[in-house]
Amino acid sequence: MSSAVRLVRNHRLTQAVDYAYAAAVDVPVRSLWLAGACPLDTEGRTVAVGDYAGQAHQVMRNLLAVLEGEGAVLTDLVRTTVYVASSRQSDLVAVWEVYREYLGAHDVPSTLLGVSVLGYDDQLVEVEAVAVLKREREDEGAKSGVGAESEAEAG
């Protein structure tokens, strides 16, 4: 509701896709560019070796942690790219289903693709994202951090 992101539908295209066709940002905003979230634990080890769905869960948990660290939430996402190290469409679908669980009604524009290999040992999944947040106060947003949104007033 307080998101700066407006998800865009299009009645001329198929409704048989489970994501928005675009995301529009119309107001002065703060943007957040996330590194591709990886299936790493807090020790930097790849979790769920060989398990596409298991890695997708860890990736989404890590992506949420980055958002939360900046006072952002999933509904601030404006676009994602979902990378799956596989040439089988079924592996892509397995990852996508986990990813979609986390997104829920905020079915942000996305691209899903199979890649030949990813950067970490045993890594099967990576999700990169861009978020756009409503600006709180001019030049004050960066300092206020997590949870500041409810206290801030428009500047």
39-78: which residues touch a second copy (CB under 8 A)?
40-44, 62, 65-66, 69-70, 78
Q: Does 128 bind a second copy (CB under 8 A)?
A: yes
Q: Does 2 bind a second copy (CB under 8 A)?
A: no
For a second copy, the closer of residues 23 and 98 by Cβ is 23
CA quadruple 104, 10, 27, 1: dihedral sign: negative
Separation of alpha carbons 136 and 118, rounded Å: 37
Q: Report 101-120 residues binding a second copy (CB under 8 A).
A: 109-119
> Cβ distance 75 to 129 under 8 Å?
no
Tokens found for residue 86 = 């596989």
CB of 56 to a second copy, least distance (A): 14
Contact stretch for a second copy (CB under 8 A) within 36-44, 49-57, 98-106, 146-154: 36-44
Q: Does 15 bind a second copy (CB under 8 A)?
A: yes
